[in-house]
Every structure is written in structure tokens, then in C-alpha cells.
Chains A and B, each alone.
Chain A
Amino acid sequence: MKSLSALGVCLTGAFLTFSQVAFAADCEEITLGSAISLTGKYATNGAHAKNGYEFAIQKIKDAGGIKVGDKCYNFKVIYYDDESKGDRAATLTERLVNQDKVQYMLGPYSSGMTKAIAPVTEKYQIPMVEAEGASRSLFNKGYKYLFAVLSTSEQYLASAVALAAEKAKESGKDPSDVKVAIAVENDPFSLDIRAGVLEDAGKYGMKTVIDEKLPRDLSDMSAILTKVKLLKPDLLIVSGHSKGAATAVRQIGEQKIDVPMVAITHCEAADVVGNFGDAANDILCSTQWAETLTYEDPLFGSASNFDKEFKMAYSEYADKTVPYQTAQASAAVYVFKDAFERAGTRDKEAVRDAIAATDLATFYGQIKFSEAGNNIAKPMVLRQIQDGKYNVVAPSEFASHKVNWPRN
């Protein structure tokens, strides 16, 4: 009997060694943790981010896993639902670290949740690569274990200011003659956008004629648009999540507001083209990423290839554009893969240092972190809605189309 079981062990052992040689897919697992919003007000975008994580993990698995030293690994993520609540997210992160013994974290959705989690990951010195928190207040706290692949929020619409200045020059005016109207929601993200726009407008000496805060439950902004009509600014900036985008586009059409340049955020989330058709034409939308950009990398291929393969893997996205929230989530996983391979060890301090030293070309754009942890290599992209299509018009080196100016 004893000899029989010994034989069994022997055989199993032999089989295991054999299979490890034969199938590279039998890699060990590296466990990542993520508290992400699957219910509550961020549920839609939370799901976008999770799909992005899962797509990248599957992609890495298919490509033979992560080579750390001479071993191979695959990622596995433990997800918890933070219910779109900051305190819940922080508690769940404690649980991931203390009970599930997670050593590396992927970010949650939104700046607010990231802000709630970052002190916890910092306390336990857990490296976190996040893809969905853009507020610049995340990067002035001196966090050493927080890294973000996306551009920070003050850059979201700043490029529209540069574009307006460029157009003013072309038409023989001085950029300092440009009048700017700003309407942003009173939340940290949108206030960052406002700060970025004001800063850049200040550099050109532009005048701010309207500077208003939108309420949280905005459904009517005709009061601001009437002022726009009276004061005739050259550039109108609106940022108020999807309700801001929807309200602005609809009422700009209704009130026939003929500002030469209108730049807003969250066009896709509000589906302004699908909902308002022609009224959305020639509006500029900021985005972190677009599938028409010329970025590429060896794992995902080009940006358009990512878009194609993602749609094949997740059929519910088949007839809409893949949101940038998904693309950047995939990029965050890719940063981890790259860092593990360069570190050559699973030691979390070494991995943290490897992440900090990242200088990676990806389908999502160049990724290189500043001392503070934000990505400083990737510019924000401006797209213009031209005949119902989102075409990249700025920055000019990646642009596929020319900007229509003035609007209408």
C-alpha cells in the first residue's frame, strides 16, 4: 500500500513537471486587489473599469503570462464592491490587505474613492496603480505608493485654451482679446478643470467674462447661456459630468448660442450625439484616449486594435465606442506587468521602485510617472464632433482631422 501511494506521488510529481514544461499557461498567480464601484452612482463606470482590468489580465494570460525572473505568473484580482461610498472603499481596502493578504492594488473608480483608499494603501505600503482618479489633489499629498496612468484633471480642457489662442492668431487677433466663459460643477474634479483653464487663459492674458458654478442636480442652465448670449465670449467651457454635458448641448441648441468654440467633458457618458444629434456638432470634447490615436504597444497592438479586440471580448460594447475608462484600466494592468518583469522579483518594495521608474509606450499613450505619481508623458486629447463622429483635432501631432472653427 505504502509503495503504491509513493508511486502515485511520484507519478503525479512527474506529471506536474511535465505539464509545467509543456504548457506555459500553467503559471502561478499574483493576486491584486481592487475595491470598485459595482453598485451605487458610479456603477456604470465602475463596470467599465473592471472590464478593462479583466480584458488586460486575459490578454496577458493569452500572451504567456508575466515573466518574473525565470518563473511565469498570471494576475488574479479580488474585487469588492465599494457601493460608490468612500468609507466603504477604505474599509474594503483594509480587508484586502489584512485578511486577503493582497500586496498590490488596482485603483477604484473616481477621484473620490481613490482619495479614500490612498491613505490606507500608503499606511501598509502597498503599491497601487490607479486608472480612474484624475483629481490633482491626489498628487500633492506626498504619496509614495500611488501611481496614476491618466492625465490629471486640470489638463482636461486646458488644450482648448491653446486651440482658441491658435485660432485667434490665425484670424489676425491677439490671443489676449479672447473672452472665456466657464461653467463648471462645484466638485473637486470640475474645479480642477476650471483651475487649469484659468491658469492657461491667464498665460495668454485672456479675459474671463463668466465664471460660474453649476449645482449638483443641474437640469437647466439657461440662465448662464442667456449671459453667454449677451457677453459673447469666444470660448465656452462646460464641465459637469454627464448631466452638464447633456444640459449644455441641448440648451446650446435650443437657445441658438453661437460661440465660436465650445469645449465640454463627458460627451460619451451623456451620449450627446445619440441624444441630441445635430445640436452636438462641432462641440469639442476632452478625452483621455481615443481609438483613432496612433499609439501602440506589443501586447495590445495599436489603439484601434485594442478597440476591436475589446469589442469582440465584450459584446455589450459592440455598437458603441469603448470608453476611455476601460482603456486606461487595461493600461494600469499593463504597467503592473511591465514593473514585475523589470523588477524580476515579487518583493513589493522592488516592484514599487520599478513602477516609479516606468517609461512605457502603450496603446493608451506614453506612461511615465512624476515624483508625485501622476503620468506626465501623455497629453489630453480633444475631439470634435463632426457630422456625428468623434474626430481627434488636438494635439496636432496625433490629430486625424482639422478643427471646424468657428462653430456653426
Chain B
Amino acid sequence: MEQILGNLSLLFEFPVVNLKIVVDGVMIGALFALAAYGLALVWGVMNVKNLAQGDFVIAGGYVAWWLSGKGMPPLLGVPVAFVVLWGIGWVIYKLVISRVIERDLFTSLLATFGLAIMIAQILNLLFGSDTQSIQLEYDTLYFFDGFVDVPIAKLLGVLMAAVLATCVIIFMKRSRMGQAIRATAQDARAARVLGIDTEKVYAFTFSLNSAICGAAGAIIVMVWVIQPFYGISYSIRAFVIVTAAGLGNLPGVISAGLGIGVLEQYGAHIFGIGYQQAVAVMLLLLVLLVRLLQQRRVRQSLQ
């Protein structure tokens, strides 16, 4: 308790720390938002709650890490991980997801939970259990007497995340496939009647999701560290964000992602870093509670 109060007083004593926390939080949150957007896509279009979301992220990280070890420029890892995970996502869709998509909620939860375990163990067998990261040879920018540090590598990561998100948004709005995906999300049966090949749309959506995750992972390995068993923490955050923002609400997903990033950093500062993830989970509980009360009032089902 004394420590918590001490930490709180530090925030007031050195106001610049708040800025540092917000900057760090936004940078982390941008990547959470990316993984969460993929989840919202799959959830909204296919009604599959993908528990392996975080493991796709980590797999993408390992693709980038492995190739950069073979001499590939690290920044190229992002598009390459996007492509490789696209392929992996497509194979997983054909092998597993297409068989559970019409089933009830628990079948798809169980299937993706199994996938999560499989991916983590395969990565562990292939690459070992040590943590890995890519160190980029870029400087760090310092502001406010060195209190706020922005490594250029992180900045690049956030920029790439933003570019990727923008591309996906434009694609969804403008392209025929994007329209087909949105139509399927609204009403799969009606879309089928109107001649949309929903099977193809599903395969595409799932592949796109895992590709987005892969790119996020390739960015994460450049700014933080990855380990085969880290997937779950990204899955949890993606779920929190999507639950908080609602499906099909892209600005909501992005702002919830950034918000969770910042709140976690505050939580880590005030309660200690061990409680960082607890903040995210507490938030999930809170969101669920609020949603439940809202629903009760307007008598609608969760969209």
C-alpha cells in the first residue's frame, strides 16, 4: 500500500512521467489494436472466436526473426511474415476452421484452443524456448531531459502498424472482396443467395487475419521480445479490446487498443509491473459488466 502511494506521488512530483507513460502505452497499444482488429474480423464475419490469435502473432515474430538470422533486412520481415502467415492461415482454415465454422460456439473455441497449444509447441520444438528479439541499429530520440525516450525502431513499428491498418481499411471499403466480406458479415445466407462464394470469403478472411497477426508479430520481435509461450497474453488483450469496442467498430478497436496500452502502463506504474496484465483482465470484467447492464436496459443481444 505504501509503495502504491509512493508510486502515485511520483506521478504528481514528476508530471513528465505521465507523458512517458502515455507515449509508451500508445506504442504498445497500436500493436494490440492490430491483433484485435484481426480478431474482430474473424469474429464478426465467421463467428469464430479465435483463441490462437496471439499464437499467430508469435509465429509471425519467429518468421521474421528466423529470416533476419539468415541475413534478411529486419524491416522486410514485416511483409514476409504477412505473406507466410497468410499461407499458414489458409492451410489452417482448410484443415480445421472450415470444419467447425458451422458448429456451435464450444466446438470452435475448443478447436482454436487446441491450435494455440499446437502452434506454441511447434514453435518451441523448432526454435527452442529461449526468448528472441531483433535489435535494430537505430538511435533513440530523447525528449524532456531524457525522460521520454522514443526508440526509432519502435516509431517505425508503430508507423508500419498504422500503414497496415490503413491498407486493410481501404481494402475493406473499396475492393470487391472487401465488399463481399462485409456482406457476408451482415448476413451470410443473403450473401450466398446473391451469389457470393461465402466459403471463399471465409478462407480469405481467416488468412487475412493470420497475416495481420503475423505482421504484428514481426513488428513486436523488433521492439520487444518473443517466446513460444507468449501468445496467450496477446490473445487476452485482443479479446479485451474487441469485447470493449464491439465488432465491426474499427475506430472503436483502435481507440480501445491504444487506451488499454496506456491503462496497462499506468497500472504497471502504480501497482507494480506484475499487475500489468491484471489491469487488462480487470478491464475485461468491467466491460462485460457494463455491457450486461446496457443489454438489460435495451433488451438487445450483444452484437
Q: Which residues of A contact B (CB under 8 A)?
A: 39-44, 183, 186, 211-215, 217-224, 226-227, 229-230, 242-243, 246-247, 250, 254-256, 269-270, 275-277
Contact = CB atoms under 8 A, between A and B. Distances in A.
Given A222-B24, A230-B17, A250 B273 contact: no
B18 to A, nearest CB: 10
A276 B222 CA distance: 12
Interface stretch (B109-117, B142-150, B192-200, B290-298): B142-150
A223 B130 contact: no
A353 to B, nearest CB: 38
Nearest to A274: B135
A84 to B, nearest CB: 8
A213 B277 CA distance: 13
Contacts of B7: 227
B225 A254 contact: no
B274 A214 contact: yes
A247 B229 contact: no
Contacts of A41: 124, 129, 228-229
Contact of B21 (A42, A223, A254): A223
13 contacts: A40-B124, A40-B129, A183-B273, A186-B274, A218-B273, A222-B20, A230-B14, A246-B133, A246-B225, A250-B225, A255-B149, A256-B149, A275-B133
A226 B229 contact: no
Contact of B224 (A211, A220, A277): A220
B237 to A, nearest CB: 11
Given A224-B273, A226-B147, 18 more contacts: A39-B125, A41-B228, A43-B128, A44-B128, A212-B272, A212-B273, A213-B272, A213-B273, A215-B273, A219-B225, A220-B24, A224-B268, A226-B269, A230-B14, A246-B133, A250-B133, A255-B149, A275-B135
B131 interface: yes
B124 A43 contact: yes
B204 interface: no
Interface in B125-163: 125, 128-131, 133, 135, 140, 142, 146-147, 149, 151
B116 to A, nearest CB: 14
Contacts of A230: 10, 13-14, 17
A220 B131 contact: no
Interface in B1-51: 3, 7, 10, 13-14, 17, 20-21, 24, 28
Closest 5 CB pairs of A and B: A223-B268, A213-B274, A219-B224, A243-B131, A41-B129
A215 B274 contact: yes
B278 to A, nearest CB: 9
A242 B226 CA distance: 11
B101 to A, nearest CB: 30
Nearest to A222: B24
Contact of A270 (B17, B131, B272): B131
B265 interface: yes
Contacts of A43: 124-125, 128-129
B277 A223 contact: no
A256 B151 CA distance: 11
B227 interface: yes
A59 B17 CA distance: 58
Given A213-B274, A230-B17, A44 B129 contact: yes
B130 A269 contact: yes
A229 B129 contact: no
A22 B199 CA distance: 76
B27 to A, nearest CB: 10
Nearest to B20: A226
